[in-house]
A and B are shown apart, each in its own frame.
Chain A
Amino acid sequence: MSNEVKTKEKVDMDPKYIIKLTVTLFVTCVIVAGLLGLVNSVTEGPIAAINKENTEKAIQEVLPDLEGSPATVELTAEMTAAASGAGATLTEAYESNGAHALKIVASGSQGNIEMMVGVDAEGVVTGVSIVSNSETSGIGSKVMNNENGVLDQFIGKSAADGTLSVGKNVDAISGATVSSRGVTTGVNAALAVAGVMG
């Protein structure tokens, strides 16, 4: 609209005008970036604390015998390869008295499902907890919220049960097969990782 009115403005290839545009935009960006830096310095601490708390809560849920705080394990190429071999991605690993809590990302029906899987020293699953997901509310979210104990059914499974798969040795929630499969893939990956960790 205002373009049509101000057609007289000098634009075409006038170096001064181009420099003016560039400088204005540059200065604005610098000011905004500076302000964002300030805000970030205020919120950085609380956000890190919340993330840490969420992670610790998830670890506690999947490792019932946890005492003290678990140690972070450096990811090795072997571990990440074991997870990707099972179709998921390993992002974090924690260890406590031989039991492992593994943060795994697997794909669900709407996006990634991030979950914490606990595996004890004997390689038996002790718990599955969903850290974040974007599954369909009312359908896939049933799996995420552990409705009908769909997440608890993994407890007690181990590598001895073979590869877990929906329909064979895992029950899915009807209508949410893809979400159930995502979690199953994640647990398989966790068992594979725990296998190479020993």
Chain B
Amino acid sequence: MNLKKQFMDGLLYQNPVLVQVLGMCSTMAITTSFFNGLGMGLAVTVILTLSNVIISAIRKIVPDKIRIAMFIVVIAGFVTMVDLFLQAFVPALAESLGVFIPLIVVNCIILGRAEAFSYKNGVVASFFDGVFQGIGYTLVLLAMCIIRELLGAGTFGGGLLAGGKGIQIIPSQFPAGMLTLPVGGFLVLGCLIAAMQWALSKSKK
């Protein structure tokens, strides 16, 4: 177990979004305001960590042939729990994330980490893998949110600051509204992935 390597992998070298290119759907769909990004990131981190720990704990008794089915049952269980808790205690977030909370079940980051990491590693290592991969995912979401919100709506901290409207930084007639639409998600994500690959290839040299 190598905590530092796991940490750097989650944030940079094996970043779930920018390097593994997993979880694209939610990344593009919900990164329109800061609050959404933070909420989605935390929800995925919690679910990923819990499911990593459980899958790692039961990995020796899970028959190989049905492991995917077992993973999905465990993941779906946690997602439903988080969904219910959000609806009950953070209704504003549950409403703005909508269907993307239940869809975490099929978010490839979680199944991907189950298959690639926690099915082969110990409980403690899997726990930290969940935390670090989750943080890596959250940071990319936040970066996407900040860029899209600032250039698309001219605000910062939407849904959270200044009574939910966010702080207006660019006067409202200037921003390109397109960036808050799905097409803007593709553009921003493409640019981020390109920048990340450039930085990684440069650091290798």
Whole-angstrom distance between the Cβ of B63 and the nearest chain A Cβ: 5
Contacts of B63 in A (CB 8 A): 17, 20-21, 24
Would you call A36 an interface residue if the criterion is a C-beta within 8 Å of the partner chain's C-beta atoms?
A: yes
Would you call A77 an interface residue if the criterion is a C-beta within 8 Å of the partner chain's C-beta atoms?
A: no
- Pair A32/B77 contact, Cβ less than 8 Å: yes
Those of B45-68 within 8 Å (CB) of chain A: 61-66
Would you call A28 an interface residue if the criterion is a C-beta within 8 Å of the partner chain's C-beta atoms?
A: yes
For the complex, give the distance between the alpha carbons of A36 and B66 in Å: 22
- Pair A137/B84 contact, Cβ less than 8 Å: no
Would you call A160 an interface residue if the criterion is a C-beta within 8 Å of the partner chain's C-beta atoms?
A: no
Whole-angstrom distance between the Cβ of B33 and the nearest chain A Cβ: 9
* Chain B: number of interface residues, binned into ranges: 20 to 34
- Pair A47/B73 contact, Cβ less than 8 Å: no
For the complex, give the distance between the alpha carbons of A136 and B119 in Å: 40
One of A1-9, A61-69, A117-125, A184-192 at the interface? A1-9
Partner pick for B91 among A20, A29, A50, A136, CB 8 A cutoff: A50
Would you call A148 an interface residue if the criterion is a C-beta within 8 Å of the partner chain's C-beta atoms?
A: no
Contacts of A137 in B (CB 8 A): 32, 180-181
Whole-angstrom distance between the Cβ of A79 and the nearest chain B Cβ: 28
Whole-angstrom distance between the Cβ of A39 and the nearest chain B Cβ: 5
Whole-angstrom distance between the Cβ of A4 and the nearest chain B Cβ: 11
* Chain A: number of interface residues, binned into ranges: 20 to 34
Contacts of A9 in B (CB 8 A): 64-65
Would you call B81 an interface residue if the criterion is a C-beta within 8 Å of the partner chain's C-beta atoms?
A: yes
Whole-angstrom distance between the Cβ of B197 and the nearest chain A Cβ: 25
Those of A40-58 within 8 Å (CB) of chain B: 40, 42-43, 45-47, 50
Those of A130-149 within 8 Å (CB) of chain B: 132, 134, 136-139
Would you call B1 an interface residue if the criterion is a C-beta within 8 Å of the partner chain's C-beta atoms?
A: no
Known: A3-B64, A21-B66. A36 touches B73 (CB 8 A): no
Partner pick for B73 among A32, A46, A136, CB 8 A cutoff: A32
Would you call A25 an interface residue if the criterion is a C-beta within 8 Å of the partner chain's C-beta atoms?
A: yes
- Pair B180/A6 contact, Cβ less than 8 Å: no
Partner pick for A134 among B98, B119, B181, CB 8 A cutoff: B98
What are 17 A-B contacts with C-beta separation under 8 Å? A2-B64, A17-B63, A21-B65, A24-B61, A24-B66, A25-B66, A28-B74, A32-B74, A35-B81, A39-B85, A42-B88, A43-B84, A45-B88, A50-B88, A132-B95, A138-B152, A138-B180
B positions within 8 Å CB-CB of A: 32, 61-66, 69-70, 73-74, 76-77, 80-81, 84-85, 87-89, 91, 95, 98, 119-120, 152-153, 177, 180-181
